[in-house]
Amino acid sequence: MTPIGKDILAALQGIVGAGRVLTDAESLLRYGRDWTRAHTPDAGVIVLPSSIGQVQDVVRLAASKQLAIVPSGGRTGLSAGAVACNSEMVLALDRLNRIEDFNPVDRTVRCGAGVVTEQLQQYADAQGLFYPVDFASSGSSQIGGNISTNAGGIKVIRHGMTRDWVAGLKLVTGTGELLDLNRGLVKNNAGYDLRHLVIGAEGTLGIVVEATMSLSRPPENLAVMVLGVPDMASIMSVLAAFQGGIELSAFEFFSELALCKVVAHQGLQRPFDNPTQYYALLEFEQPDEQAMETAMGLFEHCVGRGWVLDGVVSQSVAQAQALWRLREDISETLSRWTPYKNDISTVVSRVPSFLAEVEAVVSASYPDFEIVWYGHIGDGNLHLNVLKPDGLAMEEFQRRCGEVSKQVFEIVQRHGGSISAEHGVGLLKKDYLHYSRSPLEIEIMRQIKRVFDPQGILNPGKIFD
């Protein structure tokens, strides 16, 4: 790719303005990386457009000069999908942050790619509606990035992934053309739905610049339970029991070690005194008294079967929020150990044997490392976190963890699972893509990319080389 010289900088300034083309060291570091730390950021320039037209002009310039572009949203990714480590141009979409064209009949709203997730959630609430895609980084992640990674989070068991809420989107291709995909239609079987190719493509097919997002009715009087369980098989029995009696909006799990870390470092209280090996967090609506009576009956049933050893249920909104923090604060808490993360999944019914196999391999390989488990157990998604010891160099830590990744992904492959349930492939997992995708699938992906991005300038090196 072409290096970024003074002539290119001048051309970029002519498109977006002199103050929106950044080359200082602080900006290059800030915009050139995401939450991962496995790769050293080395961005060439940061460009901050304020309109779709400016994005198109920047991409046309990049295509004409053979400049590599890394699209950047809230930079909260966990797969190094937004890391610029080869002097690329970073196209930061922060300024495309308008929310407009709310339609109360269709329950849709048009968002710029730079709209922060929490901003959309608050906007929906002000309209008496609800945007259900939620996760720990909702206060800084952006809609464009959510779409590009098909973000999931804590409500997937009921509300699905980001793709389930994208009614339409606008995409700038690698040649600077603008595609307006689906246009908010509920029914549209007129050929291929290119919208769904773009969702989860990590910016390799085009730059998401705008999206029409669907909204829903708000939930009624949510209640939260935290249950202590003796083993993973019991968690799955609890899930089956509760799903048979009430509609859950979330079913999360975390290990005792995860709870210990959160309680110690976030100043939170344990849900109950006696520790258990795992914990399940359930959320459900209680529109009437019968809903809670049903939930308590299910709880007593699970206790009677030995699946639950202890439990607590929220009595107020504040208590529900406090219980959620036990789960949602885990990722932030663990960040101080720079964990080696694996975001893996299989079908829900296989989770107990899947986790047991992975845990056996990991524990045998890292007897001196702390291993923390948590995740969205209701949709088969497990987060494996290996914590770096303070005295171990990052390079050595990454090397040792990488040696075991192959064994973990072989287990994923045997269980018909995914090496990346919701974080994406990026740089971190592209060498392992073949454990989840066949050679033919990968070749078709390459061919699709060549159509959308014929010169290969969009997020090169991500997903595959």
Please name every residue paired with 132 in a beta bridge, in sequence order, or none if there are none.
none
* Number of domains into which the chain is organized: 4
Write out the residue range of the structural domain in which residue 82 sits: 6-95
Last residue of a domain, one of 296, 331, 366: 331
Q: How far apart are the first and last CA of the chain?
A: 14
For residue 273, CA distances in Å to 281, 307, 438 come to 16, 18, 48
* 344: phi then psi, degrees, rounded to nearest 5: -120, 160
pLDDT above 90 covers a percentage of the chain that reads 88
Residue-averaged pLDDT of the chain: 95
Question: Do 63 and 79 belong to one domain?
Answer: yes
Sheet holding 108-112, edge to edge: 99-103, 108-112, 207-214, 166-172, 178-181
Residue 447 neighbours by CB distance under 10 Å: 9
Q: Cβ neighbours of residue 438 under 8 Å, at least 6 residues apart?
A: none
CATH number of the domain where residue 74 is located: 3.30.43.10
Question: Do 270 and 361 belong to one domain?
Answer: no
Q: What is the pLDDT of residue 286?
A: 93
Question: Do 312 and 359 belong to one domain?
Answer: no
Please name every residue paired with 99 in a beta bridge, in sequence order, or none if there are none.
111
CATH number of the domain where residue 399 is located: 3.30.70.2740
Question: Do 111 and 53 belong to one domain?
Answer: no
Q: What is the pLDDT of residue 395?
A: 87
Do residues 252 and 376 lie in contact, with contact meaning Cβ atoms separated by under 8 Å? yes
Residue 377 or residue 82, greater confidence: 82
Question: Do 104 and 206 belong to one domain?
Answer: yes
**DSSP sequence for 50-90:** -SHHHHHHHHHHHHHHT--EEEESS---SSSTT---SSPEE
Task: Say if 452 falls within a structural domain.
Answer: no
pLDDT tier, 72 (very low <50, low <70, confident <90, very high otherwise) = very high
Beta strands per DSSP E along 205-362 = 207-214, 222-229, 248-255, 278-285, 310-313, 340-345
Task: Say if 462 falls within a structural domain.
Answer: no
Question: Do 108 and 182 belong to one domain?
Answer: yes
Q: What is the pLDDT of residue 402?
A: 86
Helices (H) and strands (E) in the chain, counts: 15, 16
Residue 56 neighbours by CB distance under 10 Å: 20
Question: Do 105 and 186 belong to one domain?
Answer: yes
- Cα–Cα distance, 431 to 461 (Å, whole number): 11
Residue 419 neighbours by CB distance under 10 Å: 25
Q: Cβ neighbours of residue 60 under 8 Å, at least 6 residues apart?
A: 175, 176
Do residues 20 and 55 lie in contact, with contact meaning Cβ atoms separated by under 8 Å? no
Question: What is the three-class DSSP state of 154?
Answer: coil
Shortest CA distance to 245 belongs to which of 286, 210, 186? 286
Task: Say if 399 falls within a structural domain.
Answer: yes
pLDDT over 80 (residue 146): yes
Q: With residue 406 as reference, give the H or E element that holds it.
A: helix 394-414
Q: What is the pLDDT of residue 244?
A: 94
Task: Say if 465 falls within a structural domain.
Answer: no
Q: What is the pLDDT of residue 344?
A: 95
Q: pLDDT, tens digit, for every residue of 242-273?
A: 999 999 999 999 999 999 999 999 999 999 99
Q: pLDDT, tens digit, for every residue of 6-45?
A: 999 999 999 999 999 999 999 999 999 998 888 899 999 9
**DSSP sequence for 35-57:** S--SS----SEEE---SHHHHHH
State both tokens at 201. Answer: 């493509």
CATH number of the domain where residue 307 is located: 3.30.70.2190
Task: Say if 461 falls within a structural domain.
Answer: no
Q: Radius of gyration (Cα) for the chain, nearest Å?
A: 23
Do residues 177 and 218 lie in contact, with contact meaning Cβ atoms separated by under 8 Å? no
Cα atoms found within 13 Å of the Cα of residue 140, Cβ hemisphere only: 10
Question: Do 238 and 325 belong to one domain?
Answer: yes
Task: Say if 103 falls within a structural domain.
Answer: yes
Question: Do 59 and 117 belong to one domain?
Answer: no
Lowest mean pLDDT among 1-5, 142-146, 335-339: 1-5
Q: What is the pLDDT of residue 212?
A: 98
Residue whose pair of structure tokens reads 């056996």 in the numeric block: 360
Task: Say if 286 falls within a structural domain.
Answer: yes
Q: pLDDT, tens digit, for every residue of 215-239?
A: 999 999 999 999 999 998 999 999 9
Residue 377 or residue 253, greater confidence: 253
Highest mean pLDDT among 152-156, 268-272, 352-356: 268-272
Lowest mean pLDDT among 93-97, 243-247, 335-339: 335-339
Residue whose pair of structure tokens reads 């998401």 in the numeric block: 208
pLDDT tier, 136 (very low <50, low <70, confident <90, very high otherwise) = confident
CATH number of the domain where residue 192 is located: 3.30.465.10
For residue 154, CA distances in Å to 34, 282, 311, 320, 379 come to 21, 10, 20, 14, 10
Q: What is the pLDDT of residue 292?
A: 95
Lowest mean pLDDT among 11-15, 56-60, 202-206, 403-407: 403-407
For residue 380, CA distances in Å to 46, 377, 416 come to 38, 5, 12
pTM score, whole prediction: 0.93
Average pLDDT over residues 81-99: 97
Q: pLDDT, tens digit, for every residue of 437-450?
A: 999 999 999 999 99
State both tokens at 348. Answer: 């829900």
- Cα–Cα distance, 84 to 77 (Å, whole number): 13
Sheet holding 370-376, edge to edge: 310-313, 222-229, 278-285, 248-255, 370-376, 381-387, 340-345
Question: Do 326 and 343 belong to one domain?
Answer: no
Last residue of a domain, one of 152, 186, 214: 214
- Cα–Cα distance, 226 to 277 (Å, whole number): 13
Question: Do 113 and 38 belong to one domain?
Answer: no
Task: Say if 30 falls within a structural domain.
Answer: yes
Question: Do 321 and 307 belong to one domain?
Answer: yes
Q: Sign of the C-alpha dihedral, residues 237, 240, 243, 244?
A: negative
Last residue of a domain, one of 46, 62, 95: 95
pLDDT above 70 covers a percentage of the chain that reads 100
pLDDT over 80 (residue 2): no
